[in-house]
Amino acid sequence: MIALQPDFCDIALPEGEHYSIEDYASSKARWCSGCGAHTILNSVQKLCNDKQLPPEKTVFVSGIGCSSRFPHYMKTYGFHGLHGRAFPVACGVKFRRPDLNVFVITGDGDCCSIGAGHWVHAIRYNMKMVVLLFDNAIYGLTKKQTSPTSPFGTVSNTHPAGSVLPPINPIQATLGLPNVSFVAQTVDWKPAHLNATLKKAFDHPGLAFVRIVQRCPIWMRDSYEPTVKDPDAITVLNHENGIVLDEKALKKFRHVNEHDPSDILKAREAAEMVKETTPIGLFYQNKEAIRYDEYGAHNLGTAVEDRIGAINSMMDRYAI
Ligand code: SF4
């Protein structure tokens, strides 16, 4: 596990000064040329700059995988942890330090396989954070093994004759969880939509789950190329309370469906659309869902004295 600490102290900017994009950029990203992770990194740095997030109040937590190198490329706090364990670390950070801006960076293997149990409970706990699922539908770092989101029949090192199980749809799965409060999908090659989605996610009061369909030109070119090239392959979910694009950006899409993100049943129907087309936009938002970090901020519903009293009486049981 690597906890990254940038070279700054906890000092507010002098009055009248502003952060620039360069204030969030760390070392040069070492992803492959053409990897979709590069555009996501640019978009996240743009979000930090647009929101003027103090780097010393911002933390990126990741697990293992190509995408999980992300915290190394941000000049903020970061935690590059264990495979599948980004969620519990991020929840711990948010619970103890509700003042921090917390982001989770996870991949399809990291989130939907080894980290699936943590994914379920993080959604249910609904602490305020932004979760970015970089979904390239393959284990890229370890050179092409089938992941839980690999399309049926994907040829890989683990399935040379093609994968034999239907993939998990992360949108559908997340929408089936209790206390889910924000589910959106975007693609890395449509920057206007990606930027608008990240902004909406950051403004959400609870856990914002964003699946980003991500290009991996090294191992999965055949998987995403049809979607990139075919203007009929994407359907935009549009609504005044959803991901709002300006008219010019919206006109670039041939298929636009009106979808009210307050309707979870319709959101689940929209998630099914993935068989015919890739839907992008805000599937569901509920700003009123219970947040465990708010509960924690009130000492889990008990006064500090009561908790100390409970510990003392427990200790007394073992005193001679
Ligand atoms: Fe990106 Fe694929 Fe290269 Fe990993 S293997 S860095 S996902 S292009």
Q: In this predicted structure, what is the pLDDT of residue 22?
A: 95
pLDDT, residue 308, reads 85
What is the 3-state secondary structure of 25-53?
ECCCCCCCCCCCHHHHHHHHHHHHHHHCC
- CATH number, domain 2-7+14-316, options 3.60.20.10, 3.90.226.10, 3.40.50.970, 1.10.10.10: 3.40.50.970
The pLDDT value recorded for residue 301 is 65
pLDDT tens digits along 148-195: 999 999 999 999 999 999 999 999 999 999 999 999 999 999 999 999
Residue with CA closest to ligand 1 atom 5: 140
Q: Domain-by-domain residue ranges, the chain? A: 2-7+14-316
How far apart are the CA of 238 and the centre of ligand 1, in A?
Answer: 31
- Measured distance CA(46)–CA(219) in Å, rounded: 28
The rounded Å distance from CA 66 to ligand 1 centre is 6
pLDDT attached to residue 273: 82
Handedness of CA 171, 175, 176, 180 (dihedral sign): positive
Q: Give the global pTM.
A: 0.92
| CA–CA distance, 270 with 11 (Å, rounded to integer) | 46
The answer, yes or no, to whether any atom of ligand 1 lies below 6 A from the CB of 208, is no
Ligand 1 in reach of 139 Cβ (< 6 A): no
- Pick the residue whose CA is nearest to atom 7 on ligand 1: 216
Q: Which residues of the chain fall below pLDDT 70?
A: 1-11, 297-301, 320
Give yes or no for residue 217 CB within 6 A of ligand 1.
Answer: yes
Q: Is the CB of 218 under 6 A from ligand 1?
A: yes
